Amino acid sequence: MSERHRREWIYKLCTYGAIVGLFAFFLQVQNQADEYQIRILNVSAVFVTLAVSYNLINGVAGQFSLGPNAFMAVGAYTTALLTLSPAEKELSFIIEPIIWPLSVLHLPFLPSLLIGGAFAALLGFIMAFPVFRVRGDYLAIVTLGFGEVIRVVANNVQSITNGPLGLKGLSEYTNLWWSWGVAVFTVFCVTRLVKSSFGRAMQAIREDEVAAAAMGINVFRHKMLAFVVHAFFAGMAGGLMAHLITTISPTLFSFFLTFNLLVIIVIGGLGSMTGSIIAAIIITHAGEWLRAVEEPMAIGPFNIPGIPGMRMVVFSIMLILVMIFARQGLMGRREFSWKWFCGFLKIGKRRG
Amino acid sequence: MSFFKVEHLTMKFGGLMAVSDLSLTAKEGDLIGLIGPNGAGKTTVFNMITGRLLPTEGKIYFRGKDITGTQSHIINAGGIARTFQNIRLFNDLTVLENVMIGYHGRLRSSFWEAIFRLPRYKSEEKKMRSMAGELLAEVQLDNVADEKAGTLAYGQQRKLEIARALATNPRLLLLDEPVAGMNPRETGDMMDFINSIREAYGLAIILIEHDMRFVMGLCEHLIVLDHGVTIATGLPVEIQNNPQVIEAYLGEPEGA
Shortest Cα distance from A194 to chain B (angstroms)?
A: 9
Cβ–Cβ contact A217 with B under 8 A: yes
Residue-wise DSSP of A107-133 = --HHHHHHHHHHHHHHHHHHHHHHHTT
Shortest Cα distance from A229 to chain B (angstroms)?
A: 10
Could you give the 3-state DSSP secondary structure of residue B74? helix
Residues in chain A: 352
d(CA A333, CA B5): 45
Tens digits of per-residue pLDDT, A217-261? Answer: 999 999 999 999 999 999 999 999 999 999 999 999 998 899 889
Domain that holds residue A121: 13-252
A309: left (phi over 0), alpha (psi -120 to 50) or beta: left
Domain count, chain A: 1
Shortest Cα distance from B90 to chain A (angstroms)?
A: 5
Tell me which residue of B203, B225, B243 sits closest to B46, measured CA to CA: B225
pLDDT-derived band of residue A348, with 50, 70 and 90 as boundaries? Answer: low
Report CA B102 to chain centroid distance, whole Å: 14
**A269 occurs within a structural domain:** no
Please name the member of A189, A200, A208 whose beta carbon is closest to the beta carbon of B104: A200
Could you give the 3-state DSSP secondary structure of residue B234? strand
Query: What pLDDT is attached to residue B253?
Result: 67
> How would you label A324-349 residue by residue, b for 16+ Cβ within 10 Å and e otherwise?
eeeeebbbebebeebeeeeeeeeeee
Please name the member of A198, A215, A333 whose beta carbon is closest to the beta carbon of B102: A215
Residues facing A304 on adjacent strands: A297
Q: Is the model's pLDDT at A69 over the cut of 90?
A: yes
pLDDT-derived band of residue A1, with 50, 70 and 90 as boundaries? Answer: low
Inter-chain CB pairs, A–B, below 8 Å? 102
**A270 occurs within a structural domain:** no
Amino acid at A334: R
Q: Is the model's pLDDT at A67 over the cut of 50?
A: yes
pLDDT-derived band of residue A332, with 50, 70 and 90 as boundaries? Answer: confident
Nearest chain B alpha carbon to A191: B115
Query: What pLDDT is attached to residue B254?
Result: 65
Residue B174 main-chain phi, psi, to 5 deg: -105, 120
> Number of C-alpha atoms within 13 angstroms, CB side, residue B4?
23
Nearest chain A alpha carbon to B174: A214
* Helix ranges, A132-218 (H): 136-156, 158-161, 176-194, 197-207, 209-214
Tens digits of per-residue pLDDT, B152-198? Answer: 999 999 999 999 999 999 999 999 999 988 888 889 999 999 999 99
Please name the member of A197, A216, A333 whose beta carbon is closest to the beta carbon of B73: A216
- Provide mean pLDDT across the span A272-291: 91
Q: Is the model's pLDDT at A3 over the cut of 90?
A: no
**A304 occurs within a structural domain:** no
Nearest chain B alpha carbon to A194: B115
Tens digits of per-residue pLDDT, A128-158? Answer: 999 999 988 999 999 999 999 999 999 999 8
Tens digits of per-residue pLDDT, A39-48? Answer: 999 999 999 9
- Of A77-86, A338-347, B21-30, B93-102, least confident by mean pLDDT is A338-347
Cβ–Cβ contact A211 with B under 8 A: yes
Tens digits of per-residue pLDDT, A285-324? Answer: 988 888 888 888 777 788 878 778 788 888 888 888 888 8
The full set of domain ranges for chain B reads 4-88+161-250
Residues in chain B within 8 Å Cβ distance of A216: 73, 76-77, 102, 104-106, 168
pLDDT tens for chain B, 256 residues: list them: 689 999 999 999 988 899 999 999 999 989 999 998 888 889 999 999 999 999 999 999 999 899 998 999 999 999 999 999 999 999 999 999 999 999 999 999 999 999 999 999 999 999 999 999 999 999 999 999 999 999 999 999 999 999 999 999 999 999 999 998 888 888 999 999 999 999 999 999 999 988 788 888 888 899 999 888 999 899 988 888 888 888 887 777 665 4
Residues in chain B within 8 Å Cβ distance of A332: none
DSSP state of B147: S
Please name the member of A192, A201, A216 whose beta carbon is closest to the beta carbon of B77: A216
d(CA A190, CA A192): 5
Put simply, the answer to whether A216 touches B105 (Cβ < 8 Å) is yes
Angle, helices B154-167 vs B119-138, to 10°: value is 140
pLDDT, chain A, mean: 90
- Quote the percentage of chain B above a pLDDT of 70: 98
Cβ–Cβ contact A197 with B under 8 A: yes
Q: Is the model's pLDDT at A351 over the cut of 50?
A: no
Please name the member of A196, A201, A214 whose beta carbon is closest to the beta carbon of B76: A214
d(CA B101, CA B89): 11
| Interface of chain B toward chain A, CB-CB under 8 angstroms | 50-52, 71-73, 76-77, 81-82, 84, 88-93, 97, 100-107, 109, 111, 114-117, 121, 124-125, 128, 164-165, 167-168
Shortest Cα distance from A348 to chain B (angstroms)?
A: 26
d(CA B92, CA B181): 23
Report CA A286 to chain centroid distance, whole Å: 17
Q: B4-88+161-250: what CATH class?
A: alpha beta
Cβ–Cβ contact A208 with B under 8 A: yes
Amino acid at B127: K
Put simply, the answer to whether B88 touches A208 (Cβ < 8 Å) is yes
Between B55 and A96, name the one with better pLDDT. Answer: B55
